Structure 1
Amino acid sequence: MPAHRALVTDLMWLHRTMPTVSQVKTFDLKVLRDARKDCPRRISWAITFLRAYALAAEEFPSLRRTYLSWPWPHLYEHPETVGNVVVSREVSGDRWLFFAPIAGAETFSLERQQGLLERYQSGPVEEVFKNQVRLAHFPFYVRRLLWWLRFHWMRGKRIKRLGTFAVTTVAGQGVTILDPRAPVTSTLTYGPMNEAGQCDVAIAYDHRVMDGKEVADILNATERIMQTRMVQEFHDLTWQRRSRASAA
């Protein structure tokens, strides 16, 4: 297995025992789209969704919970969110997929989170994804042992490496992921936005941790946050940027 596919293979191996279910809702984001477009600082949709989803986790603690099977089946609730954005990078002619962790997205500003994402997207791969690149070159059985220990035993390292949730999308290519899979409690994805400012948003979740009714509530809450608080945050960021420009 080439190194650039080793991590994906490992993650799918971890996911194989997770009973995940996907639910989809169409979000109306026209007002947010316009507020984002007017903002002088470019904030990606991935960060916008990450921030809104992390804020929803304050209302729904299940988004910070993880099922652990060792030494006995139980749920662990992390004190803060750790969102992992799936980032595609080219390394020596090969396409790699990396997890870019952003901790405390419910606390830090959109601008700070965007800066972190841009470092993950353009910084030296050997620095920003040092541990993932190194792990990908380990022998097969060493990788699987390390993943098993992190996944089932070392809950702190599991959250640090994998996060409490993931965000992945190929909406920029005009495509919607129907069944996103990652070894985390929930994975959020969204499709391309139409002219009316609507897009399909899906959450794949571990059914051992959450049920369909709660996930429906989470989708509704995330849309509400994007229609209200996120719009206000973009307006505030626009005002701050223009005030700085005027002062300069």
Structure 2
Amino acid sequence: MPDTARSVADRPGSFSIPLSVPRRIVCDLVHFAHKVPTVPVQRVVDVSRIASLREALPARVGWCALFTKAYALVAREVPELRRAYLAHPWARLYQHADSIASVAVERQFGREAGVFFAHLPRPDATPLPELEAALRWHKETPVPTAFGFALRFYRVPRPLRRFLWWYLLNVRGSRKAEFLGTFGVSVYSGLGAESLHPLSPLTTTLNYGVIGPDGRVPVRVVYDHRALDGGTVARALGRLEEVLNGEIHRELVALSERGARALDAA
């Protein structure tokens, strides 16, 4: 190394930082996500009907809960969205009976912000207030309580941890769903930004951008091309818009009417 480069690298204030648990989570995820041939498909969705209705609800229901439940309802109809590619001991697809959403949640851990994953079983069958409460619990409960398993798992030495990741991703379909979920949700539109191609080892990952003043929003699904094709994903996005303006809209109307009756009774 040239003397000038060495002098810059060795300046006071330069030092090595051990990988924290949140950084280990992301490093493992990216390591295995890079092995998955993913492709993004995008559709602009009109959510203006539910945007105004959502604002009038007596209790807040976030967009993440709405999109997560809507996508799970689509996955109930479209079995390809509940399948996972497994490579060993022979190449095959494993179809899950139900969906488990894996929602990325940013939490403060020590002195840094880190990404953890909230696992929500059967979001298609969960009432929106309960789904919102589950997401809020993962966002507000102390990290050791909400993500205790992750904290323990990511203190396992890396060779053993990576072997367990490989085994779950390639051999055991049922355990893969329990450990990772069947689809991902990764969103930071609340910060005014969006990811164009989030990395994930899951078959599909749902992502949406900032909702415009006209109620239109870009929604994309990043999918594993080994498990399904783009046409299936494109049709699923069209069905997602119908579900948001159909089943989800009707549930929001029912919640609004229930809130109005509660106010009248009070």
1:75 aligns with 2:90: no
The answer to whether the 8 Å contact 1:41/1:238 transfers is no
Out of 27, 36, 59, the residue aligned to residue 41 of structure 1 is 59
CA distance in 1, matches of 2:175, 2:148: 15
2:53 corresponds to 1:26? no
**One-letter amino acid of the structure 2 residue matched with residue 42 of structure 1:** R
1:237 partner amino acid = L
Counterpart residue number, 2:175: 157
Length, aligned pairs only:
248
Question: What is the CA–CA distance in structure 2 between the aligned matches of 1:132 and 1:246, rounded to whole Å?
Answer: 45
In 2, the alpha carbon distance for the partners of 1:223 and 1:11 equals: 29
- Map Cα deviations across residues 4-47 of structure 1 (whole Å, 9 max, x no partner): 20011101111122110001111111111011111111111111
Instruction: Please report how far the alpha carbon of residue 151 of structure 1 lies from its aligned counterpart in structure 2 after TM superposition.
Output: 1.6
The answer for the alignment partner of 1:224 in structure 2 is 242
Matching of residue 101 in structure 1 with residue 119 in structure 2: yes
Larger Rg: 2
Code of the residue aligned with 1:11 in structure 2: it is L
Give CA deviations for 1:75-116 in whole Å, capped at 9, x if unaligned.
Answer: 011100001110000011111111101111111110111111
* SS of match in other structure, 1:90: strand
Quick check: 2:68–2:123 contact (8 Å CA) kept in 1? Answer: yes
Aligned partner of 1:139 in structure 2 is 157
Contact 2:22–2:116 (8 Å) recurs in 1: no
How far is the alpha carbon of 1:139 from its aligned partner? 1.5
Please give the root-mean-square deviation of Cα atoms over the aligned residues, in Å.
1.1
The code of the aligned residue for 2:180 comes to L
CA distance in structure 2 between the partners assigned to 1:40 and 1:220 by the alignment: 30
- Residue segments in structure 2 that go unaligned for 5+ positions in a row: 1-18
CA–CA distance in structure 1, aligned partners of residues 95 and 142 of structure 2: 33
Counterpart-to-counterpart distance in 2, 1:149 and 1:169: 28
- 5+ long unaligned stretches in structure 1: none
**1:91 corresponding residue in structure 2:** 109
- The correspondence of residues 168-247 of structure 1 with structure 2, limited to 5 A, is 168-247=186-265
Shift of 1:212: 1.1
Aligned to 2:5: none
Q: Note if contact 1:85-1:166 (Cα within 8 Å) is conserved in structure 2.
A: yes
After the TM superposition, which parts of structure 1 deviate over 6 Å for at least 4 consecutive aligned residues? none
CA deviations on 1:41-84 (whole Å, 9 max, x unpaired) are: 11111110000000001221111101111111100111000011
